[in-house]
Amino acid sequence: MTLSVITGFIEIGPLDVVDIFMSALLLYFLYNLMKGTAAINIFIGIVAVYLIWKLVNALHMELLSEILGAFISVGFIALIVVFQPEIRRFLLILGTPVFIKRKRHLLFWNLTLKGADNLDVDTIVKACQELSRTKTGAIIVVARQNELRQFAETGVMLDARLTQPLLENVFFKNSPLHDGAVIILRNKIHAARCVLPLTRNVNFPEDYGLRHRAAVGITELSDAVAIVVSEQTGDIAFSKETRLFTHVTASQLKNFLDQEFN
């Protein structure tokens, strides 16, 4: 039996409750996706205009409803252009197996997904320890399902066995490959001197340099994990799913990588 909230005005049935819940869930994911970027203000403004449009439409205010309806319909194409990076990132995250595995309890999905090859965590951790001790700047990106081909192509393809001396030599200050990121794919050093995108987060702390910004930037556009060694302080940090974790110890880095990849 349909529950009448306001007689003759709004009627809510079981399907309406599901519809509201799913819409709220979608808006929540979109908000978290754009939180901290310049696009969040535009997003909130669009939601406000849409809610006002639905309200005036329900109140049969035809002139105002027609104006707002035209604004929304004409502005749809413009929104695709404005939110192109956010839409791309949303679809990328939604289709990423890592995201599906973590959210399947919420979305009632039961999928068995093949993970990546086991990562040689000890080699990476030991290399980061030595780079930290010598205050050698480094950024190491560990790819998952997204192979980061477009970013690997900006650097030098190596496809070399993952070893501690090689990682350290790549980032040695006089090395021709040190200025850029290393991408590790399938437990190999896939490419070096790669150019990464910087984060779009307008609230990113000013204390951190381009390496940290690039580490967060690559996790905004992919499912990769990025590790950073600061050239100024030797501090180790890593970025995962747009979040930056700083002042990380070697044991914390090892535990994190073991949990993520092994």
Instruction: Give, for all 262 residues of the chain, the pLDDT tens digit.
Output: 444 444 445 577 788 888 888 888 877 877 776 665 556 667 777 778 888 888 888 888 888 888 887 777 766 666 676 666 666 666 666 655 444 444 444 444 443 344 445 899 999 999 999 999 999 999 999 998 888 888 999 999 999 999 999 999 999 988 889 899 999 999 999 999 999 999 878 788 888 999 999 999 999 888 899 999 999 999 999 999 888 999 999 999 999 999 988 7
What is the rounded distance in angstroms from the CA atom of residue 108 to the CA atom of residue 137? 43
What is the rounded distance in angstroms from the CA atom of residue 71 to the CA atom of residue 68? 5
If we measure between CA atoms, which residue out of 103, 20, 87, 108 comes closest to residue 221? 87
Classify each residue of 94-110 as buried b or exposed e, where b means 16 or more C-beta atoms within 10 Å of its C-beta.
Answer: eebebbeeeeeeeeeee
Angle between helices 62-82 and 84-94 (to 10 degrees): 70
What is the rounded distance in angstroms from the CA atom of residue 84 to the CA atom of residue 80? 6
Instruction: Please give the class, per CATH, of domain 121-261.
Output: alpha beta
Kindly report the length of the chain: 262
Q: Is the pTM of this model over 0.75?
A: no
If we measure between CA atoms, which residue out of 235, 242, 241, 236 comes closest to residue 255? 236
Domain spans of the chain, in order of start: 3-94, 121-261
Structure tokens at 42: 């535009």
CB neighbours of 111 closer than 8 A, spacing ≥ 6? 97, 100, 101, 104
Whole-angstrom CA distances from 126 to 147, 207, 256 are 24, 26, 14
